[in-house]
Amino acid sequence: MDARAREALLVEDAADAAKYRVYPQTPLSEVVDLMVRRGVRAVPVVGDRYEVLGIITTGDALSRVLSTHPEEDAAHGRAELTARDVMTRAVLCVSESQPLLDAARMMVNRKVEQLPIVRDGELVGLITRNAVLRALRGEPEPDNESEES
């Protein structure tokens, strides 16, 4: 793909629809189950109007799973962890109309694998590093349901 064509690409050209999302009160066990069953590496946490409140990555979830002891917590009357307890709150979001190269630079500079895409404050999709690379190379999107970033 030539340089001018790459510069003309927008985030929407590499966007994936937001297939999965959880709410702050969703138990961590359900979030982990979703990630494992569906092979997703990150799940946005949204509010009642689908505004992005945070994100839970497989790294966030694994870190919490390793540091918690459900049997011990239950014995001491501690409630199960929720998405709110685990999510990363400072989430960088992009809009569909942003240049794709700008989003790619953000991903590299901030060392993130994917970014939520918002329209009028509402989550509409995600963009991953793999999707960015495919779009910049002019490659078609694969047929598989889940994507490794």
pLDDT, mean of residues 9-19: 92
Domain spans in the chain, listed from the N-terminal domain onward: 3-137
pLDDT, mean of residues 33-51: 94
Contact at 8 Å (CB) between 126 and 103? no
- Which of 18-32, 33-47, 62-76, 102-116 is predicted with the least confidence, judged by mean pLDDT? 62-76
Token reading at 82 = 């929720």
Contact at 8 Å (CB) between 27 and 64? no
Q: Is the pLDDT of residue 144 over 70?
A: no
Contact at 8 Å (CB) between 49 and 58? no
C-alpha distance from residue 107 to each of 61, 75, 88, 115 (Å): 20, 42, 16, 8
Q: Is the pLDDT of residue 75 over 70?
A: no
What single letter denotes the amino acid at residue 144? N
Q: Specify the pLDDT at position 2.
A: 73
- Which of 17-21, 44-48, 73-77 is predicted with the least confidence, judged by mean pLDDT? 73-77
In terms of CATH, what superfamily is 3-137?
Answer: CBS-domain (3.10.580.10)
pTM over 0.75: yes
